[in-house]
Structure 1
């Protein structure tokens, strides 16, 4: 019985680790997709606190997508393709973790530049 318990515990531990989002992947995604328009990543991410980022990122980033798709600025044009791509959906959890980790009320400062 103890071997069974240990194997179940091991499987659940490895599964939970694999499913977690990674802040460094979110930072990489931000640098790759967002820095072009939001030049200073450190300043931009800290403009909102965790509660505000949570409101923007809930429902699969619905509000974030809406903000960018409704933007009249020319610089928002490339983001339209990105938000309609599967890559955004795939990396959303990482981007969310990055934004929460370096929100204005987190006390952390990213090194994006």
Structure 2
């Protein structure tokens, strides 16, 4: 019985840590945009995010066209410049500060 309890506790802790690591973060997306894409785009993340509404960003992401949209908005950005692990963070940033969100980032 004790061993089953230990296994259940270990699984709970593991799942708690795994979901925390897997979650994306708008603040991290903002930092990535400033560091990697502000110069090639020629504008800050706030101007990037307001290019679409939250619904439009959601549709773009669900269709798997987020990187294509980044390239369209920022022609100097190439597909190889956008790492797979950054996409969810930049999307969350874009969604959080979309034109209809009422939020204004500090970048």
Report TM bin, short chain.
0.7 to 0.9
In structure 1, the residue matched to 2:86 is 91
In structure 2, the residue matched to 1:72 is none
Distance 2:27 2:83 in 1: 16
In structure 2, the residue matched to 1:71 is none
What runs of 5+ residues in structure 1 fail to find an aligned partner?
69-74
Distance 1:66 1:30 in 2: 13
What runs of 5+ residues in structure 2 fail to find an aligned partner?
none
Runs of 4+ in 1 over 3 A off after TM superposition: none
TM-score (normalizing by structure 2)? 0.75
Number of aligned residue pairs: give it. Answer: 102
TM-score (normalizing by structure 1)? 0.72
CA contact (8 A) 2:49 2:94 kept: yes
Distance 2:67 2:50 in 1: 20
Alpha carbon RMSD of aligned pairs, Å?
A: 2.4
